[in-house]
Amino acid sequence: MIRLKKVLAPTDFSEGSKRALRYAVSFAQEYKASLTVLHVIDVIYYDYGWMYGGVPMPDRIVCEHDDKVKACLEEFVPQGYRDRVDISLELIHGQPFREIIRYAREKEMDLVVLATQGRMGLSHLFLGSVAEKVVRGAPCPVLTVHMGGRDLVEIDEEETEREANSSDHAEGDGGES
């Protein structure tokens, strides 16, 4: 018998992560488990100042950036999912694969559900794969969800329509004064 009490869904806000989130919600709902949606802000941007012209970023800038990412995390999880499953949102700093593994270990997660980006060739050789590193190092089973192929999770058409409408409103609000 499978026992799931805690599911972790790391996200980079990509379409693949949205698809993986559907799987994570489905598992959490089926097994009455809690779900944590985690985003890791990659410290390489802060350590080397890539986001701030090559100089270390002031703490104020880091805090403002974190607030924006927290807002993105809130928007990433549709209300319909929150109505069905106990979901918590987490934002941490570090190297994504290391922090996902550490979080899963420290919080005693039962399952990690994450997207694969499908990098190949030189980009995979030099950058590696967060998903691959998590699979190798996680203290629990990991389900990787690829963007291609068939989908095993039933898609709630009403939910999809609400998601599309909410993203349309978000895009429309951004450019108007």
- Determine the pLDDT at residue 153: 80
DSSP characters over 17-80: HHHHHHHHHHHHHHHT-EEEEEEEEETHHHHTTGGGTTSPPPHHHHHHHHHHHHHHHHHHS-HH
**Burial (0-12, 13-18, 19+ Cβ within 10 Å), 143:** middle
Superfamily holding 6-174? HUPs (3.40.50.620)
90-147 tens-digit pLDDT: 999 999 999 999 999 999 999 999 998 755 555 444 445 899 999 999 999 999 998 8
- Determine the pLDDT at residue 162: 55
